[in-house]
Structure 1
Amino acid sequence: MDEEIKCIGCGSTLQSEDPEKSGYLPASALKKARENEDSEVYCQRCFRLRHYNEIMPVKENNDDFLALLNSIGEKDNALVVNVVDLFDFSNSLIPSLKRFIGKNEFVIVGNKIDLFPKNTKESKVKDWMRQEANRNGLDPKKIFLVSAAKKRNLDSLIDFLAKEGKNKDIYFVGTTNVGKSTLINAILSARSDLKDLITTSKFPGTTLDAIKIPLSDGHYLIDTPGILSKNQLASHLSGKELEMVEPKKPLKPATYQLKPGQTLFLAGLGRFDFLEGEPAGFTVYAARDLYIHRTKLSNADEFYQKHKDDLLLPPSPEDDLGEMKGQMFSPKEKSDILFGGVGFITVPKDVVVKAYTPDGIGLGIRRALI
């Protein structure tokens, strides 16, 4: 049996089986490391951090992540940054966060604001985020809206971290696929002092794969593994399917004039039935590549069964998703019906609608943001 070799950057055991797990190193490089016992070896993730200032996301065991969160609660000098996906806010928020981090302060950073239409009022988005956080028993010190990919709105977040995070370890936490590592990379590229530290320092870490980036005050900016949530649609789809579902450009609204008794399908990931109310326009906000189909409610079940494995993809038959489950909504004001991870449909007041997703994942309602 081959002897275990540890990455000198994060402490993870080097392995060549799974690129998405900690300690990954291509087989040829791992073989060379075993042949040269005196060499100091970095895993691929630490190598790219050290030489290219790039943090690669990694999937870890949820028990390890929860143990790491618990360790934050034992500190009295930490600042926690919970990064969430604005298109799946409820399921990417960590509702038990406060219980884990103790008396340490935390902020919530909503990522992917660049994908909302240009006429979106950021103040309304922040109000909604705070209401949802409060509903989950969370009271963040501050809320930020950013685009990690487009490096938008970073200055205010960086200024806050520089001031409030002084003489503290700063932990970035979040579920998978929220853009946490992309955000940290964007912050690092905007701060030349951090880039200099990365290229000259080793990265102390643990087998939990928490990458600790040294700061000039002797503390650390710490990237933690993303926690896998079964309530997130992204955790059930393949990479190819996520490419179809996740928006890449600002959402382009598509308005459908519907009468009661009509149904919209958002591929096979969402179904929307208009049950009662006056004929009206319903505006869909979803990725441009996502297939949307309108049909009669009376034909909807038959259409779904006939086309769930061809037209209504994703999901594919291989995906670990349950049967469609629905929820009724009767908004008294203009509202957004949420299909977490897919998008939302803006509906007028005084209608009765029913929305479905596989196993009911990500369903919700909010006052219309746009």
Structure 2
Amino acid sequence: MKKQVAVLPGDGIGQEVMNGALEVLKAVEDHYGHQFKVVQADIGGVAIDHHGTPLPKETLEACKQSDAVLLGAVGGPKWNDVPVEIRPEKGLLGIRKELGLFGNLRPIKTFEALVDASPLKQSVVQGVDFIIVRELTGGLYFGEPRERRGKNQEVAVDTLRYEKKEIEKVVRKAFELASKRRKKLTSVDKANVLESSRMWREVVDQIAPEYPDVEVEHLLVDVAAMKLIYQPNQFDVMVTENMFGDILSDEASMLTGSLGMLPSASLREDDFGLYEPVHGSAPDIAGKGQANPLGMVLSVAMMLRHSFGMKEEADMVEAAVEEILRTGARTADLAGNQIVPVSKTKEMIDLVVEQMKPNYAMSGILAAYL
């Protein structure tokens, strides 16, 4: 199978984790005989430096001509003083809008080997496995009007706006996912305060009869935030609007032990998707080889599964990650206070790739790193 992948490393540690992702993709290519054509392009701060805009036309065109997109990370203090309309994050918001990526999937799964890495009790985080479905193209981040009347003024305006059709698309995607999993959908809103949330809740209730086997519950966002910490096993699929999803998914990362472990997929109604780790550009460790590449690697697995229909290949990548964690491999963010050998970014990738090879031997490369 031949597929074209647009690769956008972005800023900070983006290039480091992307290099690892491409090695894993090459291992899949070699193992299964696929062909992946990689087209690299700029986004975010590096695009501002090279093109004067966080989302160049060339980048957008490369994405549109590809079957999927891999993205590293964007942003950093270097670009804090650029005008707000061309901040690196605008490239990320813009590409989602331009490519019609309306729904973001963030799997929250605790690996058995990492239950000690979470700041929460083992009894709380053990066996957690759910997906947050976040609406991506509407809400507060895109609402107009928005206004700040000068830096020294005391009034700022942001508008939270949703059209019913935007809500319907993402809610339907969440129902479809729930119907294939444990058949429970939790819709998160703030319907006791916001008109947009009241409409959100109405849409969920209108679509629910189409999925009679899916149990539906509504939670206010503050209640959902609490239950994520003390009762995360109750969730299967959670669907919510843009800003709530942004916040809750970062909160949920603590269940897994590190933001560096979380992949994500931004999807539209066909098979096309943009795949990226949830973590940021981490400029404080950029270039030091300390970044955890596993969120990026697991994003590759999501791309294989959701955009390319390569379930076996995706399973292999995920199994390789789980196995190297089981044997004790850790980047610094996963080590916590434990006294364990810490692996560099490249070493972790080498372990994953080696684990994917046939007749992998424990006495080989893994022993050398541990």
**TM-score above 0.5, yes or no:** no
Which structure shows the bigger proportion of residues in helix conformation?
Answer: 2
Which structure shows the bigger proportion of residues in strand conformation?
Answer: 1
What TM-score, normalized by structure 2, do the two folds share? 0.25
Which has the greater radius of gyration?
1
What TM-score, normalized by structure 1, do the two folds share? 0.25
